[in-house]
């Protein structure tokens, strides 16, 4: 057999670096592979929050993290979805709820029944048939009773610093070595990193380097062929402002995303405060002007510091070059509009585990990794882009430009097929599934022009009965769900205090 990978070094900071280390610890350290972390200075601000999709639960399960700790230590608030306001003129807000599956119905998908119903005068909005959306509106959290199969889940708003610290602590207890440092130089031969030189003079060698350094791209940024392709032609926001506001009582079961003249603002409830994030276009407004507008946009007073920074959205042409693998935001970067930031990190990590190189000298796995990450990135970009493409804020240059920009072919096909028939073409490596795209399309006012002809085989009375039954089911299920505050109070703080090691 050829020479195996013996040493892996993760370079980075905050949750992405510790997520990578935790996963490596769990998956390959049992095979005798040494895992080390070079911890770069944090990129987080005290006000930063992570807003994560329900898929994060799967990652926590894999690394053996007790989720109670999130609620006791990371100020976590569970959310059943995101509410989008002011994206479409006078249209009311809608909630993209975290449903796990499309509503069931007659083997055809409930959406098809709804489209026909709508054409026949049904007035109930689409989101009322989404279990998670209704739960979110009711301030309740979809938690499955033991053994029950609930078609909805919750995502998380987390204090970013506390979550990173939790992951760090658990990973360190599991036996990962780490060293805080900055990088003085990277020794590269061809497309291989030979060693990383730290500011204190130490030279760190490894067979495989994982770059989790975020937009710094401390390693991959120096590798051949890994330059960044910008998405600004579609996604115009290039500034990000983070701030903090008081906590909400009672806690809502959703995050709030509102469009304004030059971008959007997100309010992410945490247990003790509300994280505020605004993304905007520097050609349209300045940091100072925005800061002045912030309380009005947030509709609440802003406390403490607000920090503005650059945002550049795009993808590296190659995310894995030689023995250097970029994960998360280091591979591709998107504004935090749909809670994909940590999802990208753990999707990359899980691909890296599946494609973990079998040999230290040669890395044919890289090509497949690049293809998968590229598909993932395009699918996520298209999802977020949909908010812009379908906006109906007329007579505002920023929004008119977004609406007029031609969509990428991958998104245009989804829009076309959905408009024509209410179906969503899904590609390989989709994060968001049929129900998510449907919620977004219909929420932003895209109404299918026709429906699956099989729907007409359902007699009218039965059709009405099915629609009614769906509404009743949802009401019953939501009533049994706990309100957000009860859910958080239900987490036992004593049990949670004892952080267990992973691995």
Partner 1 sequence: MSEPLDIVILGGGTAGWMAATALVSLIPPARCRVRLIESEEIGIVGVGEATFPEIRNFNDAVGIDEAEMMRATRAAFKLGIQFVDWGFKGSRYIHPFGVHGPVGMDHIFHHRWLRARSLGSKRDIQDYSFAAQAARDSRFDLPETRSTTLDSAYTYAYHFDAGLYAVYLRDLAERRGVVRSEGKVRDVVQDPETGNIRSLLLESGETISGDLFIDCSGFRSLLLGKTLGVEWEDWSKWLPCDRAFAVPSERDELSPYTRSTAMEAGWRWRIPLQHRTGNGYVFSTNFIDEDEAAASLMRSLETKALAEPRMLKFQAGRRVLNWEKNCIAIGLAGGFLEPLESTSIYLIQVAIMQLVPLLPDKVVDPRLRNEFNRLIDLQYERIRDFLILHYKLTRRDDAEIWRYSAAMDVPESLTRKIELFRHSAIIERYRDGLFPPTSWLSVFIGQGLIPESYSPLADTIPGESLISHLDAFHADVLDRVEEMRRHDRFIDLYCGAERSAAPMATEMRL
Query: Contact residues for partner 1 (CB under 8 A)?
Result: 1-2, 4-5, 27-28, 30-33, 353-359, 362, 364-365, 367-368, 413, 416-417, 419-421, 423, 425-428, 430, 450, 452-454, 456-457
**Least spacing, CB of residue 71 vs partner 1, in Å:** 30
Q: Of the two residues 2 and 494, which places its CB atom closer to partner 1 in the complex?
A: 2
**Least spacing, CB of residue 417 vs partner 1, in Å:** 5
Task: Please state at what angle helix 409-421 crosses helix 434-443, rounded to 10 degrees.
Answer: 80
**Least spacing, CB of residue 208 vs partner 1, in Å:** 10
**Least spacing, CB of residue 290 vs partner 1, in Å:** 40
**Least spacing, CB of residue 430 vs partner 1, in Å:** 8
Q: Exposed, middle or buried: residue 130 (CB in 10 Å: 0-12, 13-18, 19+)?
A: buried
Q: Exposed, middle or buried: residue 259 (CB in 10 Å: 0-12, 13-18, 19+)?
A: buried
State the greatest distance between any 2 C-alpha atoms of the chain, in Å, as a whole number: 78
The residue with tokens 């083997």 is 107
**Least spacing, CB of residue 459 vs partner 1, in Å:** 10
Q: Of the two residues 289 and 465, which places its CB atom closer to partner 1 in the complex?
A: 465
Q: Of the two residues 313 and 323, which places its CB atom closer to partner 1 in the complex?
A: 323
State the CB neighbour count (10 A cutoff) for residue 460.
10
Q: Of the two residues 287 and 434, which places its CB atom closer to partner 1 in the complex?
A: 434
Q: Cα–Cα distances in Å, from 52 out to 76, 268, 318, 414?
A: 11, 11, 25, 25
CA distance 262 to 397: 9
Helix ranges, 299-392 (H): 341-354, 365-389
CA distance 231 to 236: 8
Q: Of the two residues 87 and 441, which places its CB atom closer to partner 1 in the complex?
A: 441
Q: Cα–Cα distances in Å, from 61 out to 55, 68, 72, 269, 350?
A: 10, 12, 17, 24, 13
**Least spacing, CB of residue 324 vs partner 1, in Å:** 18
Q: Of the two residues 5 and 219, which places its CB atom closer to partner 1 in the complex?
A: 5
Structure letter (DSSP) for residue 491: S
Q: Exposed, middle or buried: residue 499 (CB in 10 Å: 0-12, 13-18, 19+)?
A: middle
**Least spacing, CB of residue 22 vs partner 1, in Å:** 15
Q: Of the two residues 25 and 267, which places its CB atom closer to partner 1 in the complex?
A: 25
């Amino acid at each position: 057999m050829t020479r195996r990978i013996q040493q892996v070094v993760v370079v980075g900071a905050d949750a992405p670096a510790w997520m990578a280390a935790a996963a490596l610890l769990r998956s390959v350290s049992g095979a005798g592979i040494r895992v080390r972390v070079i911890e770069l200075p944090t990129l987080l601000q005290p006000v930063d929050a992570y807003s994560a999709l329900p898929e994060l639960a799967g990652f926590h399960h894999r690394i053996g993290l007790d989720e109670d700790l999130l609620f006791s230590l990371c100020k976590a608030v569970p959310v059943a979805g995101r509410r989008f306001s002011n994206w479409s003129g006078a249209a009311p807000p809608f909630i993209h709820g975290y449903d796990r599956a499309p509503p069931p119905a007659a083997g055809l998908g409930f959406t098809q029944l709804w489209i026909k119903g709508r054409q026949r005068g049904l007035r109930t909005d689409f989101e009322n048939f989404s279990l998670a959306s209704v739960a979110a509106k009711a301030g309740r959290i979809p938690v499955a009773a033991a053994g029950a199969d609930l078609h909805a889940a919750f995502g998380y708003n987390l204090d970013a610093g506390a979550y990173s610290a939790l992951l760090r602590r658990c990973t360190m207890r599991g036996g990962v070595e780490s060293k805080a440092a900055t990088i003085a130089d990277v020794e590269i031969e061809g497309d291989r990193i030979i060693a990383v030189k730290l500011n204190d003079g130490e030279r760190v060698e490894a067979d495989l380097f994982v770059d989790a350094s975020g937009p710094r791209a401390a390693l991959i940024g120096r590798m051949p062929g890994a330059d960044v392709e910008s998405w600004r032609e579609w996604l115009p926001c290039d500034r990000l402002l983070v701030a903090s506001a008081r906590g909400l009582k009672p806690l809502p079961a959703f995050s709030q995303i509102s469009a304004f003249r030059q971008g959007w603002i997100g309010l992410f409830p945490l247990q003790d405060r509300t994280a505020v994030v605004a993304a905007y276009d520097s050609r349209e407004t300045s940091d100072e002007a925005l800061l002045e507008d912030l309380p009005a946009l947030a509709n609440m007073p802003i406390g403490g510091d607000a920090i503005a920074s650059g945002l550049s959205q795009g993808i590296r042409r190659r995310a894995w070059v030689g023995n250097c693998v970029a994960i998360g935001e280091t591979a591709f970067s998107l504004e935090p509009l749909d809670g994909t930031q940590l999802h990208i990190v753990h999707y990359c990590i899980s691909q890296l585990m599946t494609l973990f190189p079998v040999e230290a000298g040669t890395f044919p796995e890289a090509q497949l990794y690049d293809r998968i990450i590229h598909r993932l990135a395009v699918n996520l970009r298209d999802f977020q882009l949909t908010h812009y493409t379908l906006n109906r804020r007329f007579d505002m240059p920023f929004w008119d430009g977004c609406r007029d920009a031609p969509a990428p072919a991958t998104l245009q096909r989804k829009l076309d097929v959905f408009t024509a028939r209410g179906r969503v073409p899904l590609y390989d490596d989709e994060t968001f599934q049929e129900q998510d795209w449907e919620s977004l399309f219909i929420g932003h006012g895209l109404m299918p022009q026709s429906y699956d002809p099989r729907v007409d085989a359902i007699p009218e009375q039965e059709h009405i009965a099915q629609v009614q039954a769906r509404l009743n089911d949802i009401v019953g299920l939501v009533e049994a769900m706990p309100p957000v505050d009860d859910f958080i109070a239900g987490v036992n703080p004593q049990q949670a205090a004892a952080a267990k090691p992973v691995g």
